[in-house]
Structure 1
Amino acid sequence: MYHTWMRYFTPSPVHHRLGLVCLGVGLQHGTLPAVGPRTLDHHVALVISSGSGWFRAPDGRRRTVTAPALIWLSPGVPHHYGADPETGWDECFVDFTGPATTTYTELGYIEPDRPVVPLADPDGARGVVGRIARAARRGNPLLEVETSAAVHELLVALRRARADVAPDGDPVLQSLARDAFKALSVTEHAARHGMTPAELRTAVRRGAGCSPKDYLLGIRLGRAKELLAATELPVAAVARRVGYDDPAYFSRLFTRRVGTAPVRFREQQGRAVPGGWSQQVPDPERPPTLTSLDGTAASGGPAAPGGTAASGGAGAGT
């Protein structure tokens, strides 16, 4: 016995320009019949949350699939799979397509060369699929845009759920982020990890979808923007804070990557805050709010000087 629920969509050409569009969603469980052999013209993310089964690759090899696991079905690639006929499995799936799939593949979020991926916890991905299913109600005027946004979220959730990714993230990436503002070359970063530069490049490419240089640059420029926007530090001082001893080189690099010079960015975004800019991430359940008339923060916390809810944390200029 098995249970099947599914919906399919036909987004318009203008919706395809969103980059990703959802073509279908389904939730099924039980001793489901085998699928294929077949070949599709779009991507499918198939999440197995309980039970077991099998998957046959194009080379004819059959492998066991044990939950929790993700099965990637790629366009143009033959596939054949099914639940164990005795125990069955619990699955949910999302069909999707769009030009952004190329970029997500390049970044390692979609893995055509690894059709079966062990997962640590499928709950996050199943939650996204559930939101797509709820959006699939008949007559929803936001259907295409709502489900398109959810496909982006699904790819992130599946990337985070991979069993080969620690709950707190890749330790190599964490260490690089911690040392990002030190004036170290890629070779020196690799040596600190007991790696060759090639090994470091492979690890960062797999974990972040980019080179170590680009990974570090993104962190440095993000911090530089914060300092330019929230402090009055000279550009040369900002450059030193984020790891560049040569302010002229920093300015050229910033201009080339951001599209505007540091001084111009400050003119556009500058918001110097007395006491500094909080480093504490707001609680989504109790975000900073305007204070009520009696001086108590509307979110329930104490009011901070200046009429905003206190958020704590060190200032950006420290």
Structure 2
Amino acid sequence: MPVMRLAAGGRWRVEAMRALSEPLLLWFTRGQGRITLGGSTRGYGTHNAIFIPAGVMHSFDLAPQSHGTALFFGAGTDVALPPSAQHLRIREAGPQAELSGILDQIQRELDSARPGAERAAQHHLGLLSVWLERQIAAQADEPRAIPAARRLAARFTALLERDFRSGHGVADYAAELGVTPTHLTRACREACGRTASDLLQDRRLYEARRLLAETRAPVKAISEGLGFASPAYFTRAFHARIGKTPSAFRKGV
């Protein structure tokens, strides 16, 4: 789908920290912004391909002039895909055209009613996986050391995605990572410009908004399911970040 459609229903759907149950490829053909991927923030621009595995926390700015394609591989896909997140800057016209062509072919098959369309789309996905493999190899000629802060932020966001419903605080995550809360917060600031507690709250409140928008679960049940101490505390935290109470947000969706 067009990347702009990802923000349908509210920009929070792309700008708040969240993770998906299926792999995602973002192919930006126009515009620029910033993306936080696995706890690290960097800029993206035209002809950037960003692969996000299932379960990896991410968020990104989506400027009005941004254009591109988002491809969802489906939960449990058997297509061979990279095991880790990838941010590829595609500078040569050949690979740019090749990726755009593969995506066009996939869309054409999905939109058609011809026999074997789904199987053909799967084969094009296989070509896409080869394209990713080759571009990753081409950009790995000069391996770069990953700063310690980015490594720690990546470990933190992986734990956060696993346990954000538990009610654990930053101190609990820091203890599991073997660092102090102050050190963890400093590393997150260095890696993505945000504190550890901000990442935690952002992830929980994204999920709260999703549940309020997409389900009829009572506010109390959502609060309990996300590990808030009480519905009253959940309402205060939600209002402080979103500017509306949970009930008012649900009515406005």
Higher relative contact order (CA 8 A, sep 6+): 2
Higher helix residue share = 2
TM tier, smaller: 0.3 to 0.5
Larger radius of gyration: 1
- TM-score, normalised to structure 2's length? 0.43
